[in-house]
Amino acid sequence: MNYYQTESFSPQSLEAKVSQVMKGVYVKMFLGLLVTAAVAWIVAATATPGSGFFYYMATHSWVYWGLALVELGLVMWISAGLRKMSSGMATGLFFLFAIVNGLTLSMIFAVYQIAAIFKTFLITAGVFGAMSVYGYFTTRDLTRIGTYLYMALFGLMILIVVNIFWANSTMDWIISGIGVLLFIGLTAWDTQQIKQMAYADPSMANGRLATLGALSLYLDFINLFLYLLRFFGGNRD
pLDDT of residue 59: 87
Domain segments of the chain: what residues?
A: 11-232
pLDDT band at 236 (very low <50, low <70, confident <90, very high): low
pLDDT band at 11 (very low <50, low <70, confident <90, very high): low
Q: Which range in 10-14, 47-51, 157-161 is most confidently predicted, on average pLDDT? A: 157-161
pLDDT of residue 6: 40
Q: What is the mean pLDDT of the chain?
A: 89
**Alpha helix locations (H) across the chain?**
11-45, 52-59, 61-81, 87-105, 114-137, 143-166, 169-200, 210-232
Is the pLDDT at 144 greater than 60, yes or no? yes
Give the bridge partners for 230, in sequence order: none
Average pLDDT over residues 151-163: 94
Burial 138-164 (b: 16+ CB within 10 A, else e): eeeebeeebeebeebbeebeebeeebe
Q: Picking from 30-39, 95-104, 158-167, 218-227, which range would have the lowest pLDDT averaged per residue?
A: 158-167
Is the pLDDT at 99 greater than 80, yes or no? yes
pLDDT band at 125 (very low <50, low <70, confident <90, very high): very high
Digit-coded pLDDT (tens) for 78-93: 988 887 888 889 999 9
Neighbours of 30 (CB within 10 A): 14
Is the pLDDT at 42 greater than 80, yes or no? yes
Distance in angstroms (rounded) separating the CA atoms of residues 135 and 82: 24
pLDDT of residue 8: 58
Distance in angstroms (rounded) separating the CA atoms of residues 211 and 205: 9
Average pLDDT over residues 107-127: 93
Would residue 234 be called left, alpha or beta, if left means φ above 0 and alpha means ψ between -120 and 50 degrees?
left
**pTM of the complete model beyond 0.85:** yes
